[in-house]
Amino acid sequence: MAPAAYIISRAADPFFAIAIGLSAAAMRISREEKEKGKTTQQTLDSVRRRLMSLTKRT
């Protein structure tokens, strides 16, 4: 069997994957909101409201 290939290291790869996933999601949300005609500030306000509602539920 071939040894596992790592992008950075065995320990850092999961963190790298999470960072890439979060940045991809942020870029997609930003692009979709701009297509709707919203400003960056309006998008950030919307994200903050959603995060606050998630923290209040728990």
Domain that residue 45 falls in: 34-58
Other C-beta atoms closer than 10 Å to the C-beta of 39 total: 10
Q: How far is CA 52 from the centre of its chain?
A: 16
The answer to whether residue 7 is domain-embedded is: no
Per-residue pLDDT of the chain (58 residues), as tens digits, is: 777 788 888 889 999 999 999 999 999 989 999 999 999 999 999 889 988 998 886 5
Is 20 among the domain residues?
no
What does the pLDDT read at residue 58? 54
Residue 11 within a domain: no
Give 19's Cβ-side CA count (13 Å radius): 5
Number of folded domains in the chain? 1
